[in-house]
Amino acid sequence: MTRHDWTKEEILEIYNKPMMELLYEAATIHRKHHDPNKVQVSTLLSIKTGGCPEDCGYCPQAARYHTDIEGNDLMSVSQVKAQALRAKSGGSSRVCMGAAWRNVKDGEEFDNVLEMVRTINKLDMEVCCTLGMVTENQAQRLAEAGLYAYNHNLDSSEEYYKEVISTRGYQDRLDTIGNVRKTNVTVCSGGIIGMGESLEDRAGMLVALATLNPQPESTPINALVPVEGTPLEEQQKVSIWEMLRMVATTRIVMPETQVRLSAGRTDMSREGQAMCFFAGANSIFAGDKLLTTPNPDVNEDMEMFKLLGLEPQKAFEKKAKPESVSADESQYKPLGEKPKWSRPGHKIERNLEAKAKSKA
């Protein structure tokens, strides 16, 4: 049963477990609720870039920062459809459209976004949007257009949040999630590590997410990509070990949630990413750009999937159980209790048994 009463102390205790114990526990929970050999491939498309009035310290799209980001007006519906078809042909089952807005404003631009949602929905793909704050009415209109998920990250703990952002409050973010929850649209909400926060802040963010009832259907875990011109440009990049701990802890406290391995993958080796999948991550963003930051090429990801024996998860496949799991779960018994067919040398034993029977 999913818990909604996690405390910061409990989550910190999990986060700080010896690495091997943490990974084993996370992998065990992951296999109970998800197919460990399936990972969803999503594409994040920036439909309106730059010029945002917010002051998020990590974001190169803020108008007040001097970065190399080239702003653009809202893309056309036909452009978005072409990008979605390209993403689908590359193995993506989900398209997330992001616009650099503080909040959604009713009018022609929002009407165009609604048409984009309808268009992608007809392609039999999951459609996600991240457009800033939305009202209950706007969330309902997105739902009626066929939106599958709405992304609105909490970013960090409530305590540390104000160190990174001043133009929007933590409660504003929770209110947007609440407005989405009044519809049939699923919630995607996570955060960023590596912004100078403490381990207590990381645990605090997970408390805020895990105590939501229901918990978010998907949670992106981002590693900060420091961008020149932003207040966080001098931050040291997080290590793979920090990402592993964050992914594993998220999986343990949010067992049924899709854990999305998001920004920062370009700095991870294939081995590091493989360990994140083992620890419970079961979604990635594909494509050479993640809104405005670098991301691995889709062909590199497909090669990694082939090496690891991973299969892209299909659209609308929420909690895929491993097809190989039968009513007899003896294959998952502890090492000393494995059935005969799974032990090393079982073929030799079987041949000796056959010879003995033939002699008799």
What tokens were used for 51? 């010029």
The residue annotated as part of the active site, out of 96, 129, 181, 202, is: 96
- How large is the C-alpha radius of gyration of the chain? 22
Backbone torsions φ then ψ of 95, nearest 5 degrees? -120, 125
User: Who contacts 282 (Cβ-Cβ below 8 Å, separation ≥6)?
Assistant: 30, 34, 38, 39, 40, 258, 259, 313
H/E stretch holding 193:
strand 191-193
* Cα 177 from chain centroid (whole Å): 16
| Contact assessment for residue 216 and residue 189, using Cβ atoms and an 8 Å cutoff | yes
Active site residue 52: yes
User: Who contacts 167 (Cβ-Cβ below 8 Å, separation ≥6)?
Assistant: 53, 54, 55, 56, 102
Active site residue 276: no
The residue annotated as part of the active site, out of 141, 260, 265, 276, is: 260
Active site residue 129: no
Residue with tokens 């995607």, as numbered in its chain = 188
Active site residue 56: yes
The residue annotated as part of the active site, out of 52, 94, 173, 251, is: 52
The residue annotated as part of the active site, out of 141, 188, 245, 276, is: 188
Residue 43's nearest CA partner among 1, 101, 84 is 84
Q: Which residues are catalytic?
A: 52, 56, 59, 96, 128, 188, 260
